[in-house]
Each structure stands twice: as structure tokens, then as C-alpha cells.
A and B are shown apart, each in its own frame.
Chain A
Amino acid sequence: MTPINPDQLIVQLTQWALSFLDSYPLVAVLVAILLSTVPLVAVFPICFAITTWLERKGLARIQNRIGPNRTGFLGMLQPIADGIKMLLKEDIVPKTSDRLAHFLAPVVLMVPAFTILSVLPFNRNMIPAAVDTGVILFFALGSVSTLAVFMAGWSSRNKYSLLGGMRAIAQMVSYELPLVLSGVTVIMMTGSLDTTKIVAQQQLSEWIQSSNAGLQCLGQIIGWNVFTPWGFAGFLIFFVASLAEINRCPFDLPEADSEIVAGHLTEYSGFKYALFFMSEYVSAFAINGLSTTLFLGGWSGPNIRPPWSDDPNALLIPGFVWFFAKMFALMLVMIWIRGTLPRLRVDHLMGFAWKFLLPLAIMNIFVGGFYYYAPRWHGIPVVGWPIGFLVMYLSYECIGRLNRGPKTAQRVYHYAS
């Protein structure tokens, strides 16, 4: 019997369970599919529930309120209460709406939101669908959500819905470019579209396999892409673009409640609305999971080898703990931003994508290329790092200054001092 490796426990259990089905290959395939998909469909709605609670409590604290506190301890059962409320509500479909498209829109949004989760490596050997083209598949399926939002907006036969849908399309198509281009840098540096390889490239295997616990810890962190100039810039661009891609504050124009009621969600109620709400959060998790994978080292984190194990790759803390921790950390930053920044204006939104993020992302690709070929001293990028950082900082400043609008005169208040 091999010594227990907490990191791979779930994987080993799965393999052990599947070993009973060796003589029935068809059943084994079906069970394997279920074992890799059911956890996704079970875990992420729970994460969604936790996040709604975190968001309500966090926003409340930011706004000097207490937040939900009547349902359970600290209002922790609030998501359940919300869910029951949503399920019991009447499903109202407008009379003139396009019933089929109206019905299909939440489904079309839901399917890619959950499908894209399957290319994320939650741990070593824990990836639901190990495909060579993981990142591209992620972006491809993610772009389908644009269609769903349009379907929702158009089928409702409501001017606010249609406006929201059009805004959503314009915004999501625009922000997909910086999103993909900042990811391209990572793909270029790794030389692979495979998410598992991207994570593996961010770990220093020599340090991890050494006997020193400190080196083992550090080796899991030091290689993260976010600690390189192109990785840092790319992470910021990716994060901002992903905020827009999933329609979160300050880019929540498609559902701007003070301008266009609720955008494409105006005519949705009951369970369909709940589906929309859930898919939005699940795709937020997915895109945070991808930015964790691309820039924050995926499932690697400060971790040591368990003392009883002599397997060089064994880890004490399961990797998915770090993955979910990072994903939730990014989610919390999104909530924090939502509590801070006001909504952008439409023209500012477009200008920000095309005139600021896109040139910066393209610049980032060049810096990445320079970093890759710059001479190194004992493997340390002594030339690439400072010059790359300087170039990225200067281009940030320059592009930002070029984007400054005409200086407006100080506003004069006639009746207020």
C-alpha cells in the first residue's frame, strides 16, 4: 500500500473506485464522466451561495451597514432563503416576447458557464477535461455567453432589455480582445495552450523536490507569472477585462439598474432569473479560476512535502485548497471594487477597452518576447526584469496620458458656495 498523499487523495479514491469497473469499460467511462462532472455541478453552486452571502455582508460593511443577520448565524442561511424565494416566484413571460428564445437564453448562458470550468486544473491530475487547447476552448465557450445575453435582450421585446443586450454585446466583444491578448503572453511564454502545462511551468520543480522545507514552499510561489513584469501587467489587464467580460461593477452597464431598469434581465423572473444570476457568478468563478491558472500559479501555493512520504511530488495541503483560496480572493477583490467604484459611462467604457487596455496588452506581448530572449545570469532575468518593468510602466503612463480628455475648466457654482 502506498503511503497516503493528502494532495492526491481524491484522485486515488476515484481511481480505486473505477478499478472495480475494469471489466465493464462502457460503464467505467460513464462513471468516470459522472465523477468528473458532478463535483463541478455540485461545488460551484455552493461556492455561488457562499459568494452571495460574502458579497452582501462585505458590501454592507463597506457601506457601514450590518447586512443580512436574521437567517441563521450571521445571516448565513440567507442564500437558501433567497433561493426559496426565487423558486417560489411566478415565472412571468411577456405576452409579446419570443417565447422560445426567452426560454433558451438562460440555458444558453448556463451551459458554457459550467462547461468552461472543465478546462481548469483544480489540482495535479484533477482536471475534468484535459485538452491540449484548454485556454482557447475556454475563450471560445466563454464567447457564447454574449449570444445568450443578446437572446435574452432581444426576446424580451422590451426597449430596456434590448438596450441592455446591445450594450452587453458591444462591451463583451470589445473586452474580449484585451482579455485574450493578455492571456496570449502567458501562452507564448509557456509554449502551450494546455492549462496543466501552464501551471507546471510556474513551479520550480528542482526546489520543490529538494529536501529543504523552505525551498519547497518558495518553489511553489516564486515562479508565478504575476511576479514577472509581463505577468503583472498581463494579470492586471486580464483582471480588468474579466470584470467587463462578466458584467461586474464598474462595468455593469448591461444591467445598469439606474439607467435601463435591469437591462437584459428586466423581463426575467423566478427561476429563469435565478439561472441568470447563478451563471453570472459561475462564469465569474471560471474567469477567476483562469486568471489564477494563468498568472497566480494555479493550484500551487506555500506547501511542503508530508514528512511520512518519500514521493518528491507529494504535498501536505491539497492543491485545490490553494486554487479555491486564490479564486475566492479574486472574487473578494471584485466585491471590494463593486463597493468602491461607480459605473462607467458607455463611451468611456469603449474608449478604455480600445484606447488603453488593447495597446497595453499588445505592448505586453512585446515585453514578454523581450523577457524571453533577454540574457540571464544563472537563470535569473537580470536584464529582462528591470527593463521589462520599466517599459511596461512607461507605456502605462504614456498611453494613459495620451488618453486624457481635454482639460475642462473649473465648474463655477452660482448659487452654492
Chain B
Amino acid sequence: MLGIGILKGMAITAKNFFGSFVNKRLLPTLQYPEAGNSVTLFSRNIPFLVYDNDEDPLGTMRCVACKICEKECPPQCIYIVMEKDANGKPAKRPKVFDIDISVCMGCQICVEVCPFESIKMDSTFELSTPDRFEGLLLKREHLLKSNTYFHKIHPDEAQEVDDRLAAKQKKPAPTPSTPAA
């Protein structure tokens, strides 16, 4: 019969209409501020710096200011200055570690190249600020986040990293005696 297609279409929309009241799948909207967010395990946007001990963030940060990430960063949004102690000898940690997140494109290359597992991807997204210059230039203090936080947002990856670091800790014992040939 003619016109049956129209009726079929109407039935589908009616199904969507009534289904949206009972079926959660037919109403996927999340009421954002009230009903949380839809951050998944794999979501990532900007990097952060990992430290191990919650009591002493600056002392136990993994970064040694090797500046590999600064060099590798495609949009060049990382700026690192190594800290020097009283004698002018370089201390293996950054004095300045800035990331301009208005430039950062979330490519994760800094994470890939870091040999010390010290820079990882964050999944925070509420980054809006009224100041578009200073507010979007994240300093070392803003970027430092604990390993427990890392475990919270990306548990699998954090566990993997921890295992790797533990393996490295064991290995270095014989390393000095057998120098690389």
C-alpha cells in the first residue's frame, strides 16, 4: 500500500519518543555539571608531572630536567630551566617547568620520549580561566600531581609504569660493575 513508508517512519520516531522515557540508551545526554562527566580510561588532554611521595611533592618528583620533552614537543609549549644548587652545580630537577596549554595539542609525544616516566597525560578538562595569558600557562606547581592520582585516572597504565620502574630499580644494582661495552 502507498504511504506505508510514512507510517513506518512515524512509528520509528514514536518509538524514539516514548523510548527516551524508559530506555537509557535512547537518551544518552549527560546533565553535565550535576551528573558528572563522561571521562573514560583512555581520555587524555594535557600532560602533568608525576611525583611519588605525597608529603614532599617537590622532593620526589621524577623529572630530572633533561629537556628531552622540551626539544621533542612539536608546538614547543614546554619551557624548562634546570635548578642549580648553591655551588652552581646543576641539581637534577627543574626550577621552572611551564606548559602553555593554549598551545599544547595533547599529542603525547612528551610522554613517549620521557625516559624517567615523569610526564604523563592528564584527563582533567575543566580548564577554563578568565585570564587567557597567565591562566593558560601552567607552572610547575600546577602540573605536579601524585602517583596516586595517576593510579586513579589511568590505573592500568600507572600499574604498568610502576612495574617498569620497580624492574629498573632492581636492575641498576649490577649496572655499575658491568659497564656498557
- Asked if A and B bind, the verdict is yes
Spell out A's residues near B (CB within 8 Å): 58, 61-66, 69, 336-337, 339-341, 396-397, 400-401
Q: Nearest Cβ in chain B — how far from A270, in angstroms?
A: 31
Do B16 and A64 have beta carbons less than 8 Å apart?
Answer: yes
CA distance A409 to B20 in the complex (A): 38
Find out whether the CB atom of A61 lies under 8 angstroms from the CB atom of B17.
yes
Residue of A nearest to B9 (CB): A340
Known contacts A340-B9, A340-B10: A64-B28 contact under CB 8 Å: yes
Question: In the complex, which residue of chain A has the Cβ closest to the Cβ of B28?
Answer: A64
Chain A residues in 8 Å Cβ range of B36: none
* Number of A-B residue pairs with CB-CB distance less than 8 Å in the complex they form: 42
Which residue of chain B is the closest to A69 with respect to CB atoms? B31
Q: Which residues of A contact B9 (CB under 8 A)?
A: 340-341
Is B3's CB under 8 angstroms from A65's CB?
no
Is there contact, CB below 8 Å, between B27 and A397? no
CA gap between A58 and B17 in the complex, in Å? 7
Distance, CA A64 to CA B22, complexed state (A): 12
Closest-CB distance, A197 to chain B (whole angstroms):
33
B29 / chain A contacts, CB cutoff of 8 Å? 64-66
Closest residue of chain B to A399 (Cβ to Cβ) is B2
Write out the residue numbers on chain B whose beta carbons fall within 8 Å of the beta carbon of A69. Answer: 31
Question: What sequence of 0s and 1s flags, for each residue 1-20 of chain B, a beta carbon within 8 Å of any chain A beta carbon?
Answer: 11100100110111011001
Interface-centre pick from B10, B13, B26, B29 (highest chain A CB count, 10 A): B13
Most buried by A among B12, B16, B31: B16
When chains A and B are docked, how far (Å) is the Cα of A277 from the Cα of B66?
65
B-chain residues with CB within 8 Å of residue A339 when the two chains form the complex: 13, 17
Given A64-B27, A64-B28, A336 contacting B14 (CB threshold 8 A): yes
* Given A62-B13, A64-B28, A341-B6, 8 extra CB contacts under 8 A: A61-B21, A64-B16, A64-B27, A66-B29, A69-B31, A339-B17, A340-B13, A401-B2
Dominant secondary structure of chain B at its interface with chain A: helix
25 A-B contact pairs sorted by A residue (CB < 8 Å) = A58-B17, A61-B16, A61-B17, A61-B20, A61-B21, A61-B27, A62-B16, A64-B16, A64-B26, A64-B27, A64-B28, A65-B29, A66-B27, A336-B17, A339-B17, A340-B6, A340-B9, A340-B10, A340-B12, A340-B13, A341-B9, A396-B2, A397-B2, A400-B2, A401-B2
Measured in the bound complex, the distance between the Cα atoms of B9 and A62 in whole Å is 12
Min CB–CB distance B22 → chain A (angstroms): 12
Question: What's the Cα separation between A287 and B77 when bound, in Å?
Answer: 63
Please provide the 7 A-B residue pairs with the shortest distance between their CB atoms, ordered closest to farther: A400-B2, A340-B13, A61-B17, A61-B20, A62-B13, A340-B9, A62-B17
B26 closest partner in A (C-beta) = A64
Q: A63-B16, A336-B10, A340-B10 are in contact. Are A400 and B27 (CB under 8 A)?
A: no
Residue of A64, A336, A340 touching B20 (CB-CB under 8 A): A64
Residue of B nearest to A342 (CB): B9
Query: In angstroms, how far is the closest chain A Cβ from the Cβ of B2?
Result: 4
Assembly CA distance A331 to B58 (angstroms): 66
Q: Are A336's CB and B3's CB within 8 A?
A: no
**What B residues does A64 contact at CB under 8 A?**
16, 20, 26-29
The CA-CA distance from A64 to B19 in the complex, in Å, is 9
Chain A residue with Cβ nearest B7: A340
Question: What separation, in Å, do the CA atoms of A69 and B29 have in the docked complex?
Answer: 12
Q: How far is the CA of A200 from the CA of B118 in the complex (A)?
A: 85
For residue B38, give the distance in angstroms from its CB to the closest CB of chain A: 15
* CB of A75, distance to nearest CB on chain B (Å): 12
How far apart are B105's CB and chain A's nearest CB, in angstroms? 31
CB-defined contacts of A65 to chain B, threshold 8 Å: 27, 29
CA distance A339 to B15 in the complex (A): 12
CA distance A336 to B28 in the complex (A): 21
Q: Which of A66, A69, A340, A397 has the most CB of B within 10 A?
A: A340
B16 and A397 within 8 A (CB)? no
Within 8 A of A (CB), among B101-140: none
Closest to A250 in B: B6
Contacts of B12 in A (CB 8 A): 340
- The residue in B3, B10, B17 that gathers the most chain A C-beta atoms within 10 A of its C-beta is B17
Q: Closest residue of chain A to B1, judged by CB?
A: A397
Using Cβ atoms and an 8 Å threshold, which residues of chain B touch A401? 2
Residue in chain A with minimal CB distance to B21: A61
